Amino acid sequence: MPLGSSRRSLALLLAALPVATALSSSLALAAAGPAPAKASPTIRLSGLSSLWRGGHVTLNPAAAAAANDPSSRTFTMLPLNAPPINGFQPNVVLGLTDQQDPDDFNFTTKIGSSPGGNTLPRFAPPRYSVGIFDTGSQAHYITLADAQGFDIEGANRMGSSEAVIGGVSGTEIADVSDGLGVYIASLGNASAVGSTISVAPGSLKGQWNAAILSAQEADSVLPNIIGSPMAAQYQTVIRNSQTRHLTVGSRTYRGPSVTLQAKDTALPAGYSRLTLGVESVNGVSPDPVFFPSLENINNVADNPATPTFWASLIASVNANHSGGSANNQGFLFDTGAEVTVVSQDTAASVGFFSGGPNPSTPDFFVTVSGVGGTTTEVPGFYMNNLSITTNGGPIAWTHVPVLVLDIPDPRDGVGFIPGVLGMNLFTDRDLILNGGTGNPFLGIGPIITQQWTAPGGGTWGDDTKWALGSPNNPDVPANFLSSITTPSTITVEPDGVTVGSMKFDNANRYTIAGPGTITISAQSTGVGAIEVISGSHTISAPMVLASNTTINVAPSSSTLTISGNVNGGSVALTKIGAGAVLMNNVRAGTLALNAGTLAVATNGTNAGASRVTALSIAGGASPTATLDLNDNDLLIENGTYAAVKDAIAFARHSGAWDRPGLTSSAARNSLPKNKTLGTLTGADYLTTGTSTFNSFPVTSGNVLVKYTYYGDTDFNGLVDFDDYARVDAGFNNNRTGWFNGDVDYNNIVDFDDYSLIDMAFNTQSGTLRRAMSYLDGGDRSDAGMDTPALQLVEVHFAQFGYAYATSFLNAVPEPSTAAIALLTSALVIPRKRRR
């Protein structure tokens, strides 16, 4: 935006830009007519989820009295296929970049498989926020707080146009930005510390050269919205089977996994396909587009006249009740609508009358908040039947809660749309939305197996102990939630099972035991999940990771113990969440520690050794997550020595082992502190004449980590004179690295290294006590100093003096006060490094 440019108002009403979203998260909904008089407290959408999970909602008591046959209405326990009043919100994490098309005459959005340009805010760490993936909105929208937080204006990307957006209860003014990059990730690929959100590397996808709307007022009730322009260019996978939580500050967001993949990707087996229409009052373009500015003919893409917009998705719906039918009606398919809506005309067609001398008595009321900062009371009814027809046959819902609300029709700007197909109809299914104009459709997955429902343990294959049968297919979730009342064991039969994800949420411990093997296979998304929401739990059954897998132990107080053998093959394993995972070893492809701790159980043999293709620990030079090898070894096939060494050095923290990084609880707890994590390159290790490490073949590009004595430079498990020869050579030739004697990882071989090595050497040979009495001044004679280990102590004390003795004794627990006092008068003989 040119400095000093004036802002001009552009009313983006239906005649110009039909921005239509639904209800509590929507743009451009017309105000409803007067609500019928109510005889019960209003139900707010924000409180309905917990009520529904109890099997009932609070209804209008006048409804029963008004019915000729009160017994014909169900008021509490609802049929199996009856949807809740409100459904899920597909929340996503969003970020922005300054990515604008350099061609000033190109106004369409471009697909971005990863963020390009400069992330916003500029000159600061990338910012992320949470928004709703809302196909009912024909434009993207962010709040004023986020517009300021992303510093769009500071990046010179705030345009000079305004837009009037209408909603359920009024209108408000929004700003139109210049072209930006808009990128989203699933909640499951994000973590937060306080109000700061982090996103897993490689998880962001989106589009660029997109002009977006931003609020002008801080009190706008609209949330951040990712609208239909995103859906236009992707196939969007909305997976209720992988519901995630993300706590940002004091607010916890919950929603299904939302991921983007290439359009026209084949549907998984078992999915039904619903053909959608794509319609707009302005006509429909294949890709989203903004209207350019005519202020500067040389740069018409600057200061767009409108936000980037696309079309509305329309589904054919049949509605039936005792008073009649309304078939083949064009309903707006809106992922941002938690509720299902019918217009007053559609309601009248089935027997719900909102006017006249005898209006129908609503079953419930919902307060809907919209733009303009006001609320609208909306009457609701239970409809006998609502259905859609897919290529797999009809999908029907009974006892369907619907709101009666007139919403301007986004297809032509005339009249009201017959209804909105809300997400309350799909809470037990996964959805795949194929966007664009060539082949728009909604893929509807089979009904999801909800959770283990028995109050105690049993066998996995017992269908009676699951809400909808035992899970045993790729992509299907296995949820272990609130049903058990005491610690319980669920046994996997010898044939084993395959699931897409596992979730635990109970203060009582679940133990999932063998002999059968659990295979994690997520064919559609490519990423399986094991998640702990609360409590500590155990998987002792063997496991096979057939897909990349994310382990999320959310509470810092929780531990997931995976005590069975885990075959990770070459898949990527990611640890998120503040809690801990305890495994026998880690043998997989890429291992990413994004949060919390992954620990290897005490073992110390080849069985406890881990091998990964690559290792990453969040935080870079100052790690924020932890890999605890305990007393075990690790081989990294494609690592860098410096990164591994630095992660150990950070965790070691001068021997305290009290920080995140690559750590060893065994080294921290050892007495005396004579062991640590050593590190070698594969090239250095191969020079020792050994080509395997814990039975793993070694190549020159590997990085090896061993729990061993300080000074075991060649990883043969002990300190000997070969090691001293390397250390001396390292000292004399200014070398660094473990192989050359830098065992404390301070990038120099000095007296601190010699003291640690000598202490470890004397521990091995049983001469530690004599070495201590010599160095603390208790017995400085040559008596008993005739072993090779003690002779080295004498030599190094003569070389380095008091500093060497102090470092040596500090590595041994609880040096006496007398020893410290004696050392203060010890002779210090400096030694110069030979050059």
For 713-766, the pLDDT digits (tens) are: 999 888 887 887 788 888 889 999 999 999 999 999 987 888 888 778 777 656
pLDDT of residue 475 exceeding 80? no
Q: What is the dihedral of CA 430, 436, 437, 441, to 10 degrees?
A: -10
pLDDT of residue 608 exceeding 80? yes
φ/ψ (deg, to 5) at 829: -115, 105
Section 69-78 average pLDDT: 26
Half-sphere exposure of 770 (CA within 13 A, CB side): 19
Which range of 12-26, 123-137, 513-527 scores highest in mean pLDDT? It is: 123-137
- Whether residue 530 contacts residue 552, with contact meaning beta carbons closer than 8 Å, is answered with yes
Amino acid at 128: Y
Section 6-10 average pLDDT: 30
Q: What does the pLDDT look like over 120-162, one tens digit per residue? A: 999 999 999 999 999 988 899 999 999 999 999 999 999 999 8
Q: How far, in Å, CA of 778 to CA of 772, rounded? A: 8
Q: How many residues does the chain have?
A: 835
pLDDT band at residue 280 using 50, 70 and 90 as cut-offs = confident
What pLDDT score was predicted for residue 813? Answer: 54
pLDDT of residue 793 exceeding 60? yes
What pLDDT score was predicted for residue 375? Answer: 61
pLDDT of residue 97 exceeding 50? yes
- Whether residue 419 contacts residue 317, with contact meaning beta carbons closer than 8 Å, is answered with yes
What pLDDT score was predicted for residue 374? Answer: 58
Beta strands in 715-832 (DSSP E): none
What pLDDT score was predicted for residue 135? Answer: 92
Q: How far, in Å, CA of 310 to CA of 664, rounded? A: 54
Q: What is the dihedral of CA 601, 603, 609, 615, to 10 degrees?
A: 30
For 441-479, b where at least 16 C-beta lie within 10 A, e where not — what string?
bbbbbbebbbbbeeeebeebbeeebbbeebbbbbbbbbb
What pLDDT score was predicted for residue 299? Answer: 76
Residue of higher predicted confidence among 834 and 194:
194
What pLDDT score was predicted for residue 72? Answer: 28
> Across all residues in the chain, what is the average pLDDT?
83
Domain ranges within the chain, ordered by starting residue:
1-448, 499-740, 751-823
pLDDT of residue 255 exceeding 80? yes
What pLDDT score was predicted for residue 90? Answer: 93
pLDDT of residue 7 exceeding 70? no
- Whether residue 230 contacts residue 200, with contact meaning beta carbons closer than 8 Å, is answered with no
Amino acid at 205: K
pLDDT of residue 629 exceeding 80? yes
**Angle in degrees, CA 644, 649, 654, rounded to 5:** 165
The three-state secondary structure class of 301 is: coil
Q: How far, in Å, CA of 538 to CA of 144, rounded? A: 45
Q: How far, in Å, CA of 136 to CA of 335, rounded? A: 7
pLDDT of residue 339 exceeding 90? no
- Whether residue 207 contacts residue 110, with contact meaning beta carbons closer than 8 Å, is answered with yes
Q: Which residue matches tokens 């929780």?
A: 558
pLDDT of residue 514 exceeding 90? yes
pLDDT of residue 42 exceeding 90? no
Distance of CA 644 to the CA centre of its chain: 25
435 by Cβ neighbours in 10 Å (0-12 / 13-18 / 19+) ranks as buried
pLDDT of residue 193 exceeding 70? yes
Which range of 414-418, 684-688, 781-785 scores highest in mean pLDDT? It is: 684-688
Among the residue ranges 299-303, 359-363, 374-378, 472-476, the one predicted with the least confidence is 374-378
Residue of higher predicted confidence among 159 and 71:
159
- Beta pairing class for 277-279 and 312-321: antiparallel
Q: Which residue matches tokens 């006509």?
A: 283
Q: Which helix (H) or strand (E) holds 732?
A: helix 721-732
User: Both tokens of residue 491?
Assistant: 């046994």
- Whether residue 87 contacts residue 22, with contact meaning beta carbons closer than 8 Å, is answered with no
pLDDT of residue 45 exceeding 50? no
| Nearest of 405, 453, 364 to residue 60 by alpha carbon | 364
Among the residue ranges 26-35, 411-420, 510-519, 770-779, the one predicted with the least confidence is 26-35
Q: What does the pLDDT look like over 394-412, one tens digit per residue? A: 999 998 989 998 888 888 7
Section 483-489 average pLDDT: 98
Which range of 54-63, 87-96, 766-775 scores highest in mean pLDDT? It is: 87-96
Section 9-36 average pLDDT: 30
Section 20-44 average pLDDT: 31
Partnered with residue 792 across adjacent β-strands are none
Measure Cα distances from 27 to 154, 162, 181, 473 in Å: 27, 15, 21, 39
Residue of higher predicted confidence among 18 and 618:
618
Q: How far, in Å, CA of 351 to CA of 413, rounded? A: 26
Residue of higher predicted confidence among 788 and 559:
559
pLDDT of residue 67 exceeding 60? no
pLDDT band at residue 373 using 50, 70 and 90 as cut-offs = low
| DSSP code for 664 | -
What pLDDT score was predicted for residue 368? Answer: 67
Strand order from edge to edge, sheet including 225-226 = 8-10, 158-167, 170-177, 213-215, 141-142, 225-226, 129-133, 91-97, 180-186, 205-210, 110-112
Residue of higher predicted confidence among 754 and 107:
107
pLDDT band at residue 554 using 50, 70 and 90 as cut-offs = very high
- Whether residue 525 contacts residue 499, with contact meaning beta carbons closer than 8 Å, is answered with no
What pLDDT score was predicted for residue 814? Answer: 45
Q: How far, in Å, CA of 292 to CA of 305, rounded? A: 5
Q: What is the dihedral of CA 591, 593, 598, 600, to 10 degrees?
A: 40
Among the residue ranges 200-204, 421-425, 492-496, the one predicted with the least confidence is 421-425
pLDDT of residue 19 exceeding 50? no
What pLDDT score was predicted for residue 613? Answer: 98
Q: How far, in Å, CA of 90 to CA of 715, rounded? A: 51
pLDDT of residue 335 exceeding 80? yes
